[in-house]
């Protein structure tokens, strides 16, 4: 029985459709060769997306934790750097006071007071340091510098001490100024928040606290010990030369004690930095594991993809050859 042949038009449509499919495969495989990842996720996963979705969700959450921890690490480093500069300034202050205590004629009162003002300015500037738009010693109010400038501090302190005529009176007024909730330091010098930064969750039940503020007792004592030297020759204070010398000599132990307390702050902060670093390393490992799991799902085998690409190329060449021959068929050529 005679069969029915395929018309030329139908054959052309079939060849064209096959050509389109092969070219799409060529493009897809070429993209996968370059990127190393499947360009057709649905085909790759056989339309089973639940595991991939979970991995991508975990990646987003873990990356957010890593980013937050990175900010905390920056804050901790900023605090550590500031405290280091505070200690350097106070060390210079202690050396000056020790020299004056051993030989009162070695330095004039004006020279010591001027040096103290410069070092106080360094201490205040260190605690007002801004890292990435955040002030590290302002508690939760990270947008506000924690302290007014040192000149304003000394002006307020001199006014608070004016009228005192004995060492005991001066020290009592100074303690009130720096330590009372209603004193000048709390109401006019410290500008940060009363609330410290919250403890940071490091995972695995660990937390790190970066709660040191510029009104911390150790830092207030440090500022007070240097400010008391810086203010002795202030005309608004107006104390006699003998009392000036007595106050300066009495600050040697105060500076030394304050340095010890600030050193302890640095040690506690260093412990927190160590735990933050361990947590960051742990998160990096988690991220690497999740990325590897995602790669296992989506990445293609380079050898298999190259082999498939070569097979498609050969099919295209064959198709082009067949198409060319089909297009050259004619009654004359047939006869």
Burial of 17 (0-12, 13-18, 19+ CB in 10 A): exposed
d(CA 73, CA 54): 28
Rounded Cα–Cα distance for residues 293 and 47 (Å): 17
CA dihedral 35, 41, 46, 47 (to 10 degrees): 170
Taking the C-alpha atoms of residue 160 and residue 145, their distance in angstroms, rounded to an integer, is 23
Query: What are the φ/ψ torsions at residue 246 (nearest 5 degrees)?
Result: -60, -45
Residue 93 has a pLDDT of 96
Return the pLDDT at 203.
78
Greatest alpha-carbon pair distance for the chain in Å reads 134
- Report the pLDDT value the prediction gives residue 55, as an integer from 0 to 100: 83
User: Which two three-digit tokens encode residue 111?
Assistant: 């020279």
d(CA 70, CA 287): 14
Q: Residue 315's pLDDT is what?
A: 75
Query: What domains can be seen in the chain, in order of their start residue?
Result: 63-291 (1.20.1330.10)
* Torsion sign across C-alpha atoms 121, 124, 126, 130: negative
Distance CA 162, CA 15 (A): 102
Structural contact between residues 212 and 269, judged by C-beta atoms closer than 8 angstroms: yes
Q: What is the DSSP string of 134-160?
A: EETTSTT-TTS-SB--HHHHHHHHHHH
> Which segments of the chain have a pLDDT < 50?
1-5, 330-335
Token representation of residue 89: 């300034």
DSSP 163-204: T--SHHHHHHHHHHHHHSTTSHIIIIIB-S-SSPPPPEEEET
């Amino acid at each position: 029985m005679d069969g029915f042949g395929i018309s030329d038009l139908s054959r052309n449509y079939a060849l064209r459709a096959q050509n389109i499919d092969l070219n799409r495969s060529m493009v897809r495989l070429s993209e996968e060769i370059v990127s190393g990842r499947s360009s057709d996720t649905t085909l790759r996963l056989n339309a089973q997306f639940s595991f991939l979705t979970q991995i991508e969700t975990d990646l987003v959450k873990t990356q957010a934790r890593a980013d937050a921890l990175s900010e905390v690490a920056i804050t901790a480093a900023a605090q550590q750097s500031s405290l280091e500069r505070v200690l350097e300034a106070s060390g210079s202050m202690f050396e000056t006071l020790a020299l004056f205590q051993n030989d009162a004629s070695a330095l004039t009162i004006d020279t010591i007071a001027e040096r103290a003002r410069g070092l106080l300015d360094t201490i205040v500037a260190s605690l007002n340091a801004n890292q990435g738009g955040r002030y590290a010693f302002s508690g939760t109010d990270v947008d506000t510098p924690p302290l007014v400038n040192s000149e304003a501090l000394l002006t307020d302190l001199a006014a608070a001490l004016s009228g005192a005529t004995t060492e005991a009176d001066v020290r009592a007024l100074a303690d009130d100024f720096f330590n009372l909730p209603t004193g000048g330091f709390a109401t006019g010098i410290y500008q940060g928040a009363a609330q410290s930064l919250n403890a940071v969750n490091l995972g695995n039940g660990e937390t790190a606290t970066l709660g040191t503020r510029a009104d911390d007792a150790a830092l207030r004592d440090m500022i007070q010990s240097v400010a008391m030297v810086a203010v002795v020759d202030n005309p608004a204070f107006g104390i006699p030369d003998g009392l000036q010398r007595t106050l300066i000599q009495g600050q040697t132990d105060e500076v030394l004690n304050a340095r010890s307390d600030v050193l302890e702050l640095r040690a506690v902060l260093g412990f927190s930095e160590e735990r933050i670093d361990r947590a960051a390393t742990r998160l990096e490992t988690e991220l690497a594991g999740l990325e590897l799991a995602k790669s296992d799902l989506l990445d293609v085998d380079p050898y298999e993809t190259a082999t498939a690409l070569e097979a498609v190329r050969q099919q295209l060449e064959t198709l082009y050859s067949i198409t060319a021959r089909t297009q050259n068929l004619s009654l004359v050529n047939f006869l």
